[in-house]
Amino acid sequence: MTDTKVAPGGVFSLGGDLPVHRLGYGAMQITGPGIWGEPSDRKGAVAVLRRAIELGVNFIDTADSYGPYVSEEIIREALHPYPEDLVIATKGGLVRTGPDQWVPVGRPAYLRQEVEMSLRRLGVDRIDLYQLHRVDADVPLADQVGELRRLQDEGKIRHIGLSEVDAAQIEEAGKVAEIVSVQNLFNLADRHHEAVLDYATEKGIAFIPWFPIATGELAKPGSVLEQAAGEHDATPAQLALAWLLRRSPVMLPIPGTRSVGHLEENVAAASISLTDEGFDRLAKLAA
């Protein structure tokens, strides 16, 4: 069992007042197939969360739609009462109608309901970071973010973030409330949100890449990273995470897993230092 900690990956201050280790944990996979229902091994999910805390992880990302609700419930079961330095981010704005089905709903009344329910499920008085999971095209963005701002003013949300947005949407939302994070698809193989990452880096906004290991594609046997991983005495998954940590100081990767072993492997990526040459070579290999 490894004792490698996440601390070597550095620290980022969310919103300027919530310091977190830059390698976090994404709690989407501690649910059933299709991110639907109970996991096959609930005790195993609890064990993964507790081991993450032992390894120094103090940033956990979840959403009310994971399960739905199951992920938030398991986080409370595993970790409540929470460590003082633990930051839990959750999201709302996607309705689940079945396995692998995600429907955006951004009506203000619905978002308020989901915030209230997440507070209850997580067992907290205020959510550290609440992210609009998707922008609902049928509702003005100002209305969606405006409701979160009202909840923030009421003390129920500390900081507000967005997910799957472009720079123009971040700026638009920023006219209504301070946006401290953006959560977009991004990994070594899929970098179509480079412009958003550059914008976030310039503005000091946390960039939380989901699917940071490309759901295993970058780590599978025979992948383009396999040879490079051998040269670094690391696994392909570790190199993919180390590359993200090196890419920008605002990057907060949140690899998720149901396995304690995979969790420990991911955490060890925080100790890998890439040279400029190594960083550029990995980028070209995965292009």
Residue ranges of the chain with per-residue pLDDT less than 50: 1
Residue-level pLDDT at 5: 81
Neighbours of 145 (CB within 10 A): 26
- Please choose, from the candidates 75, 67, 139, 131, the residue with its C-alpha nearest in 3D space to the C-alpha of residue 107: 139
> Taking the mean position of all CA atoms in its chain, how far away is CA 139?
25
Catalytic residue annotation: 66
Residue-level pLDDT at 157: 98
Tens digit of each residue's pLDDT (9 = 90 or more) over 164-196: 999 999 999 999 999 999 999 999 989 999 999
Residue-level pLDDT at 198: 98
DSSP assignment of the chain? -----SGGG-EEEETTTEEEESS-EETTSSS-TTTBS--S-HHHHHHHHHHHHHTT--EEE--TTTBTTHHHHHHHHHHPSPPTT-EEEEEE-EE-SSTT--EE---HHHHHHHHHHHHHHHT-SSEEEEEESS--TTS-HHHHHHHHHHHHHTTSEEEEEEES--HHHHHHHHTTS-EEEEE-B--SS--TTHHHHHHHHHHT-EE--BSTTGGGTTTSTT-TTHHHHHHTTS-HHHHHHHHHHHH-TTB------S-HHHHHHHHGGGG----HHHHHHHHHHH-
pTM (2 decimals)?
A: 0.95
Residue-level pLDDT at 6: 82
**Where are the domains positioned within the chain?**
7-286
Residue-level pLDDT at 230: 80
Residue-level pLDDT at 4: 64
d(CA 173, CA 150): 14
Dihedrals φ, ψ of 8, to 5°? -60, -20
Tens digit of each residue's pLDDT (9 = 90 or more) over 51-98: 999 999 999 999 999 999 999 999 999 999 999 999 999 999 999 999
153-185 residues labelled b (16+ CB within 10 A) or e (exposed):
eeebbbbbbbbbbbbebbebbeebbebbbbbbe
- CATH number 3.20.20.100 is the correct assignment for the domain at 7-286: yes
